[in-house]
Amino acid sequence: MSHLEKVFETTDLLLRTEHSLCPGCGEPVALRTILELIGELGLRERTICVAGIGCYTAFPMIMDVDVLQALHGRAPSVATGVKRVRPDAFVFTMQGDGDMVSEGLQEVLHAAARGEKFTAVVFNNAVFGETGGHMTATTVLGQHTKTTIGGRDRERHGNPIRIAELIAQLDGSAYVARAAVHTPSGIKLARQYLHDAFRTQLDGKGFSLVEILTMCPTDWFVPPDQGPAFLERNLVPIYPLGVIKH
């Protein structure tokens, strides 16, 4: 028998390793990265996650941390209330692009401007995944959705919003970065950015945000294995990866 080196281990903060999301979905990859970090940093006992409403709303029941479920768009305000009364807690929000940038844009802007000391994580798949593939405020020009048949058109549907750059402009934000989970190196970077955002919070420095581009093959109308290429081709040019503010 050959000697096997252990190169991968699932975090025990995931109570179940199978998920109910679509094959090829990027959100479970992002979630696992977050939970691994929380485990490694020894934050589980002080973690309060505030979850938004989207496909990722399936996650709280399999995450072995305390989760406060918020309404669609409202997580930044709820997290504000949590962090203000529990300043020692490690607080992060988990929202989608529809949740944060469409429904709740005002909430995240104000929370960032106030410099609330929690970490906002947004899974940007440029679509309302959960409702079945409709245009959000981050749907890119030309992207086909059920409400932009024929592609998002500047004249008819307006322009996408770069949330990370918007947040970075505000004085209360201390760390802002954008990552993607469509390649192994991308996941590694996402991990690094999340780590730095968490540290920003732990050091009491202000608001931190990590935007993570995630695959949604189902609502991009491509086969699961085409998700990463679609993301690289359509999203990365509009949403460049990297640290935007630190």
Partner 1 sequence: MSERALMEGSAAMAESAVRAGCRFYAGYPITPSTEILEYMSVRLPEVGGTCMNAESEIEAIGMVWGAAGCGVRSMIASTGQGISLMQESFAELANAQIPIVAVNMCRGQADYFQATRGGGHGDYRFIVLAPASAQEAVDLAQLAFHLADEWRNPVMIMGDFLLSHTSELVEFPAAAFPEPSAKPWAVTGANGRRGITLSPLGPPEKLSTDIAAALGAATAKHAAIRAAETRAETAHLDDAELVVVAFGFPGRFARYAVRLARERGLRVGFVRPISLWPFPRDVVATAAQRARAVAVFELNAGQMIEDVELAVRGRVPVHAIGGISHDHSGFGVGPLLNVDYILERIEAVYAA
Smaller CB separation from ligand SF4, 33 or 125 = 125
Q: Residue 62, Cβ neighbours under 10 Å: how many?
A: 17
Are 210 and 178 in contact, with CB atoms under 8 Å apart? yes
Point out which span in 63-71, 152-160, 202-210, 221-229 binds partner 1 (CB under 8 A).
63-71
Which residues of the chain form contacts with ligand TPP (CB under 6 A)? 27, 53-56, 72, 96-99, 123, 125, 127-131, 136
Interface with partner 1, residue 64, by CB under 8 A? yes
Burial of 205 (0-12, 13-18, 19+ CB in 10 A): middle
Smaller CB separation from ligand TPP, 92 or 200 = 92
Candidates 60, 115, 151, 172; binder of partner 1 (CB under 8 A) is 60
Interface with partner 1, residue 36, by CB under 8 A? no
Which residues of the chain form contacts with ligand SF4 (CB under 6 A)? 21-22, 25, 27, 55, 125, 129-130, 216-219
Residue 21 interacts, among partner 1, ligand SF4, Mg ion, none and using kind-specific CB cut-offs from 5 to 8 Å, with ligand SF4
CB of 199 to partner 1, least distance (A): 18
Smaller CB separation from ligand TPP, 99 or 211 = 99
Interface with partner 1, residue 166, by CB under 8 A? no
DSSP 8-class letter at 146: T
Burial of 139 (0-12, 13-18, 19+ CB in 10 A): buried
Return the residue matching tokens 């995944």.
129
How far apart are alpha carbons 240 and 173 in whole angstroms?
A: 19
Q: Is the dihedral of CA 14, 74, 159, 172 positive or negative?
A: negative
Decide: helix, strand or coil at residue 161. Answer: coil
Indicate the residue type of 54.
G
Smaller CB separation from ligand SF4, 21 or 101 = 21
Give helix 27-40 / helix 184-202 axis angle, nearest 10°. 50
Residue 236 interacts, among partner 1, ligand SF4, Mg ion, none and using kind-specific CB cut-offs from 5 to 8 Å, with none
Going by their DSSP bridges, the two strands 242-245 and 173-180 should be labelled as antiparallel
Interface with partner 1, residue 79, by CB under 8 A? yes
Residue 52 sits at the vertex; the CA angle it makes with 51 and 54, to the nearest 5 degrees, is 120
Smaller CB separation from partner 1, 113 or 222 = 113
Q: Which residues bind partner 1 (CB under 8 A)?
A: 15-16, 44-48, 50, 57, 60-71, 74-86, 89-90, 106-107, 110
